Amino acid sequence: MEDKSIEELPEKPKNSSFFREITESIVIAVVLAVLIRLFILEPFYIPSGSMEPTLKEGDRIIVSKLNYHFQDPARGDVVVFKYPLDQKRNFVKRLIATGGETVALKSSRLYINGQAVPEDYLPAGLRFNDYGPREVPQGSYLMLGDNRNNSDDSRVWGFLPRDLMIGKAVLIYWPLDRIRIIN
């Protein structure tokens, strides 16, 4: 009987194979990171105190770019968007009113369609100027900072068109003592 042997393939140089695997792994990781950042999640830095106490200057947050593909933006969402007066800049504010709603700020209280709306996220004792009433156009939003007296928001630059929204702020990840889900 004749022994049948498996034909041996020529051995590849080990260094070449190792470096190729490392290179492929790095390329795949970079492509995945870019795709995740472009379409799913993106980190942002908070440069000012306009959203205090919810977001503080220096906080780093994660923004979900997927949320608004599956659901409409809702009152109370903290949203990152392109600043309407300079779209190279990004802003973060709270969505207060949607298209078709009439909004007013009177005696430091929020009114939507004539009904008082509680704002538990505002700093205690905050007093701010009256605004409105104004009707929000369809496809647009009224965006305000939580720190109303120190916020460049819709009261200054107008309503935010939907197409300028980047996504919903979902998580503070830095500094470590402030890690939490954003409400």
Please check whether residue 161 is in contact with residue 137, taking contact to mean a CB–CB distance below 8 angstroms. Answer: no
Please check whether residue 96 is in contact with residue 110, taking contact to mean a CB–CB distance below 8 angstroms. Answer: yes
Give the residue numbers marked as catalytic: 50, 93
CA dist 35 and 57 (Å) reads: 28
CA dist 18 and 117 (Å) reads: 62
Give the dihedral sign, CA 70/42/83/105: positive
CA dist 79 and 67 (Å) reads: 11
Helix/strand/coil percentages in the chain, nearest 5: 25, 35, 45
Phi-psi region of 14 (alpha: psi -120 to 50; beta: other; left: phi over 0): alpha
Q: Which residues pair with 82 in a beta bridge?
A: 90
